[in-house]
Amino acid sequence: MALTLVVTFAFAHNSPGTTAPHSEKTFDGTWWLSSSAAEQLAFRDGLADCHLWELKGSLKYERSAQDDADYITGFYHANPRHSARSVYDVFLEASTRRTIQPSGGEHFSEPHGYWDGLWWKGFNEPELALSHKGFVEGYLWCYSEKADSNRGTFSKTTGAYTRLISDWYAKSGNDETKIADVLFKFRDLPGSPPPTH
């Protein structure tokens, strides 16, 4: 599957027994509007990565994360009665809206686009922790709620996964490995007993 992503700076079913702490959280308009811009943008990136590569989904128009975040924020402000609508559903709606893309930017066609160790390390505090949290929340929510989770489940907390990913990048020095590929190194394999917390 070939897809071009433009980088500009400024997304099945849940099988029984696959619920993890992150999938119990409600990612809707109330959550979105109470979250920081850094967490929102990274959550959108996690949704997009999962939607495009795990679900093999598509997006009608190529849009920046900022365009999507602005659309989602605007939707919830303009439609307070729809605050219970999932961020994922509003993200998919945003992808049907054409925007003017600036010229230039980086184009990626490989799986998981630019979401790799360089992206993971490319933030300063306090955005670093919020971006890591947002990306993992978005990816794991999409995976646990929308994907056929036959590749395993994720029963640890979001914080545990962000620490595991950060530690893996620090020890391996391999910044080209995609975040989702690192995340899947720490999944619960099918048939394995759930970890004790």
C-alpha neighbours within 13 Å on the C-beta side of residue 70: 8
Domain residue ranges of the chain, discontinuous segments joined by +: 21-184
pLDDT on residue 22: 52
Q: Which residue has the higher pLDDT, 77 or 105?
A: 77
Q: Tell me the H-state helices in the chain.
A: 29-34, 37-49, 65-78, 87-94, 117-121, 127-146, 158-172, 179-184
Q: What is the pLDDT of residues 152-191, one digit of tens each?
A: 899 999 999 999 999 999 999 999 999 999 999 999 977 6
Place of tokens 């360089």: 118
In whole angstroms, what is the distance from residue 151 CA to residue 87 CA?
Answer: 24
The amino acid present at 146, given as its one-letter code, is: K
Share the mean pLDDT of the chain.
83
Question: Could you give the CA distance from residue 179 to residue 188 in angstroms, rounded to a whole number?
Answer: 17
3-state helix, strand, coil in the chain (%, to 5): 50, 5, 45
CA distance 28 to 33: 9
CA quadruple 139, 142, 144, 149: dihedral sign: negative
Instruction: Taking residues 2-6, report their average pLDDT.
Output: 34
C-alpha 100/C-alpha 158 separation (Å) is 34
Instruction: Give 14's pLDDT tier (boundaries 50, 70, 90).
Output: very low
Q: How far apart are CA 30 and CA 61, in angstroms?
A: 26
Mean pLDDT to the nearest integer, 58-87: 93
Whether the pLDDT of residue 2 is over 50: the answer is: no
pLDDT over 90 (residue 123): no
Q: Radius of gyration over alpha carbons of the chain, in Å?
A: 16
**105 vs 148, higher pLDDT:** 148
- Residue 104: pLDDT band (50, 70, 90) is low
Report if pTM > 0.85. Answer: no
